[in-house]
Amino acid sequence: MTQVKSEEQSFKHIFIAGIEGKRFDISIQNGRFASVTESVPQNDDSSSPGTDQWISPGVIDLHTHLAWTDFDHADQLKRDSHEVEVMQAQAFAATLRTGVTTARDAGGLLPSTARHLVQHYQHPLRVETSSEMLGAADALGVKHLEQRLNGIFDTGAGWVKIMATGGLGTPTEQVLDPVFSEEEFAFIVRYAHANHKKVLVHTWGGVTVDWSVQAGVESVEHGMFLTEDQAGRLAESRTAFVPTTSIYRIAADPKGVLALPTVISDRAARAAEAHSTAIGYAKRAGVRFGFGTDYATPSLHGYNLQELDTLIDYGLTRAEAWQSATTNAAEILGRGHELGQIAEGYIADAIIFNADPYQTKNADQLRESIMSVIIGAQKP
């Protein structure tokens, strides 16, 4: 597989993933799709077996942690700074190789670090960041939160991440308890929006989903204990749902790549079981899904496409799963006008496959069919 930073390139008689029976001629100029036109059939048009190619937009992972090197942050603190930087660069490279061309880092990565990794290591991943996460240690009132938010704004982050409930480290009976008061939560969102920042909310469910809808956040993450009524309100408000399903199935396997303690894997198993129900509620209600993995270790970076398998297992169609990773994800970022589609004028982030990505059996087969990853124009 090759990675191409493309300014000018063209493809003849190529299929666009998800559009059956039609071939297209596509040209790229200055890192954007200059023309996308249906190929005119010719009498001598005949592809040799095995030479067909398919193109799809680059995948957008809305929830990843590219700065983290270990599941337990205490282990990362034992590494020297150069080792951490090299591992972060490897995470960028692995993420690109699997076809993810844009990532929203959900906490831990500073914009300055992202720029350094892109420029120094030549891994042109498009990254949006939330820098530091707001969690239990910040539930100290509005004045404290204002100071913390100003610090996050100063880093240049475009997103604010609220840890609204616990997670795998929280006892099951407490995992839906709010971390912040309703007043604190509402202030965070209001102040972030007043400073032109978007907000994503880590919540496993409960009242913080209701607060998220009321406050007008851009996306709710995880949400495995989402109720049917809450799904309806997410859909009505157009609040995006980024469920990050695959990480919980991975974490639930005590002998898997994460090899977590039994108490943690048991919590993950309960979360994974609940997720399929939440996905069903959200799909029936018409909630806008976004693709996110929550991957944060070297054993997971580069396997992002596994999230497609889990979304499909939980009830999305293949087309819906791909939409969550392309057009929907671009809209959630506020970039639906320039990312997530193979269309004229759009940034030419794309994946070239040697097999129809809509027909592959699983993520392993899909990953093996990637021929190249194209990176279009970057902002100066």
160-188 burial: b if 16+ Cβ within 10 Å, else e: bbbbbbbbbebeeeebbebbbeeebbebb
Q: What Cα–Cα distance (Å) separates residue 78 from each residue in 69, 70, 83, 131? A: 11, 10, 10, 21
Rounded CA separation 71/23 (Å):
44
Return d(Cα 43, Cα 25) in angstroms, integer. 17
Give one DSSP letter per residue of 105-139, joined into a string: E-SS--HHHHHHHHHHH----EEEE--SEE-GGG-
Instruction: Encode 97-111 in three state secondary structure.
Output: HCCEEEEEECCCCCH
Three-state secondary structure call for residue 212: helix
pLDDT band at 8 (very low <50, low <70, confident <90, very high): confident
- The residue among 303 and 3 whose pLDDT is bigger is 303
Phi, psi of 184 (to 5 degrees): -65, -45
Structure tokens at 253: 């396997």
Q: How many angstroms separate the CA atoms of 117 and 223, rounded? A: 31
pTM above 0.85, yes or no: yes
- Cβ atoms of 127 and 338 closer than 8 Å: no
Encode pLDDT of 236-279 as tens digits.
Answer: 999 999 999 999 999 999 999 999 999 999 999 999 999 999 99
CA angle 97, 99, 102 (to 5 degrees): 105
- Residue 126 sits at φ, ψ, to 5 deg, of -85, 120
Other Cβ atoms less than 10 A from the Cβ of 44: the count is: 5
**3-state DSSP assignment of residue 271:** helix
Cα distances (angstroms) measured from residue 301 to each of 78, 93, 347, 370, 375: 21, 9, 24, 16, 19
Cα angle 219-188-215, degrees, rounded to a multiple of 5? 50
Give the pLDDT confidence of 317-362 residue by residue, as tens digits: 999 999 999 999 999 999 999 999 999 999 999 999 999 999 999 9
Local structure of residue 172 (DSSP, 8 states): G
DSSP conformational letter for 366: H
DSSP one-letter code for 243: -
Give the 3-state DSSP-derived string for 13-69, with helices as H, strands as E and coil as C. Answer: EEEECCCCCCEEEEEEECCEEEEEEECCCCCCCCCCCCCCCEEEECEEEEEECCCCC
- Number of Cβ within 10 Å of residue 20's Cβ equals 9
User: 2-16, 24-38, 104-118, 320-334: which range is least confident on average?
Assistant: 2-16
Q: How confident is the model at residue 46 (pLDDT cuts 50, 70, 90)?
A: low
pLDDT tens readout for residues 102-160: 999 999 999 999 999 999 999 999 999 999 999 999 999 999 999 999 999 999 999 99
Q: Where do runs of H (alpha helix) occur along the chain?
A: 73-76, 81-97, 111-121, 142-154, 182-194, 207-215, 228-237, 246-251, 262-285, 306-313, 318-325, 327-332, 363-368
Given this model, what pLDDT does residue 276 score? 96
